[in-house]
Amino acid sequence: MAREVVSTGNELAAKAAIEAGARFFGGYPITPSSEVMHEASDLLPEVGGVAIQMEDEIGGISAALGASMSGVKSFTATSGPGISLKAEQIGLGFIAEIPLVIVNVMRGGPSTGLPTRVSQADIGQAQYPTHGDYASITLCAGSLTECYTQTVRAFNLAEKYMTPVFILLDETIGHMHGKAMLPDLAEVEASIVNRATFTGSPADYKPYKAEMNKPAVLNPMFKGYRFHVTGLHHGDEGFPTEDAFQCEYNIERLVGKINTVAAQNDGLDNEPDYEEFMLDDAEVCLIAYGSIGLGAYEAVQKLRAQGIKAGMFRPILLWPSPAKKIAEIGARFKDKIFVTELNMGQYAKEIERIIKRDDFTTLFKANGRPIAPAEMVAKVKEMM
């Protein structure tokens, strides 16, 4: 039976993590994500887990990576400046293929920016948080319920693809306090994905000997399967290599296991990668995500009340983007597309890349304030 709860986005993310099986949290205080850590330090000891507040952001993610290597589902939570500090270790997560969930409750940036105000300016950072070539998986919660469901999904994707996964909240949704309908716990537990393990002889174990576009198979530490973990390019057993063929294969596989797989299978799992709201008969398509999507629902209804057939497309899986659907929207709505986000157009660039046109209308804001439905309505009316 679905569960009705009253909570905040940050608390729901922590609750979801624990119900998805996470037993380790490593983090550091930062506004507006600290409540994820508070909740984790309340809930994890009750289920035999551990929440550690580390000495800084780098310590937070490093401890979580270490815990994940021992086979325990782990997560960390922070905001943009914390992601900047964690960047090097996120890279380690990518190349060493360590599953980890990173909750980013977005605030205004760059640098210290607007610590207590909302923003969606870490969309680009989530795609390329660190140096080098890799592909990132990024989910974005657009409601209190999704703070829960998408965090569960983030753990499943991390385990399936053996990679760090971002779940983006923002200050509005993280601190929003309200009613949320959560899926039945048994249903959640039935959906849990656990990382693959190698069960053959330890002598035959080669964790990084993976087929093209397949993830590594990392057995938990302390179980008798010895292997080397490094941030250097590595061969089948994890030991460093500079072999040109191997290095090229590594990168192609790291990118391919996410981007190629998503393109071939139209997504990374069977969960919805986007939401369509009143789009069937729409003549104009609003594109929004995260907390701005909440305003866009209202804008769509207001526009319809005024005789403009509007609908909304709300991506949930931001990276890799639901490109096939975005291309369809581009072809169907032509220039009657309206992209609105709380940054200077970071996701609009992705839409432009996919539909290969920039004739759509945009409304960007980067001053720490949300975008009101009335502002969206006014802008859409201008374009009709």
Partner 1 sequence: MVENKKTKNLKEFSTSADRFEGANLLCPGCAHSIIVREVLNATNDDLILSAATGCLEVCTAVYPYTSWDASWIHIGFENAATAVAGAEAMYKALKRKNRLLQPERVPKFVAFGGDGASYDIGFQWISGAFERGHDMMYVVLDNEVYANTGGQRSSSTPIGASATTSPAGRVSYGEKKEKKDMMAIMAAHGSPYVAQVSPSKWKDMVKKIQRGLNTEGPTFINAVSACTTEWKFAPEDTIAIADLAVDSLVFPLYEIIDGHELNITYRPKNVIPVKEYLAAQGRFKHLFKPEFKHILDEWQVRVDKKWEQLQRREEARI
DSSP string, 108-174: E-STT-EEEEE--TTHHHHHS-SSSS---EEEE--SHHHHHHHHHHHHHHHHHHTSEEEEEEEHHHH
Smallest gap from Cβ 164 to partner 1, in A, equals 21
Examine residue 32 and say whether the peptide bond preceding it is cis (omega within 30 degrees of 0): yes
Q: Do the beta carbons of residue 338 and residue 332 sit within 8 Å?
A: no
Query: Which CB, 37 or 96, lies closer to partner 1?
Result: 37
Nearest CA among 133, 71, 60 for reference residue 103: 60
Nearest CA among 220, 174, 179, 177 for reference residue 77: 174
Place of tokens 């993310």: 13
Smallest gap from Cβ 51 to partner 1, in A, equals 7
Smallest gap from Cβ 165 to partner 1, in A, equals 24
Query: Which CB, 37 or 135, lies closer to partner 1?
Result: 37
**CB-side exposure of 324: number of CA atoms within 13 Å?**
8
Diameter of the chain by CA atoms? 70
Smallest gap from Cβ 27 to partner 1, in A, equals 9
Smallest gap from Cβ 53 to partner 1, in A, equals 4
Smallest gap from Cβ 65 to partner 1, in A, equals 18
Query: Which CB, 88 or 271, lies closer to partner 1?
Result: 88
The residues that touch partner 1, with contacts defined as CB under 8 A, are: 28-31, 34-35, 37-38, 41-42, 45, 51, 53, 55-57, 81, 111-112, 115
Q: In 3-state terms, what secondary structure has residue 41?
A: helix
Query: Which CB, 46 or 204, lies closer to partner 1?
Result: 46
Query: Which CB, 107 or 314, lies closer to partner 1?
Result: 107
Query: Which CB, 45 or 240, lies closer to partner 1?
Result: 45
Query: Which CB, 42 or 189, lies closer to partner 1?
Result: 42
Q: In 3-state terms, what secondary structure has residue 344?
A: coil
Phi and psi based region of residue 38 (left: phi greater than 0; alpha: psi -120 to 50; beta: remaining): alpha
Q: At what angle do helices 373-383 and 290-305 cross, to 10 degrees?
A: 60
Instruction: Enumerate the β-bridge partners of residue 114.
Output: 108
Q: At what angle do helices 9-19 and 34-43 cross, to 10 degrees?
A: 40
Smallest gap from Cβ 55 to partner 1, in A, equals 4
Smallest gap from Cβ 29 to partner 1, in A, equals 4
Smallest gap from Cβ 56 to partner 1, in A, equals 4
Q: In 3-state terms, what secondary structure has residue 35?
A: helix
Query: Which CB, 82 or 295, lies closer to partner 1?
Result: 82
Phi, psi of 182 (to 5 degrees): -105, 145
Query: Which CB, 35 or 341, lies closer to partner 1?
Result: 35
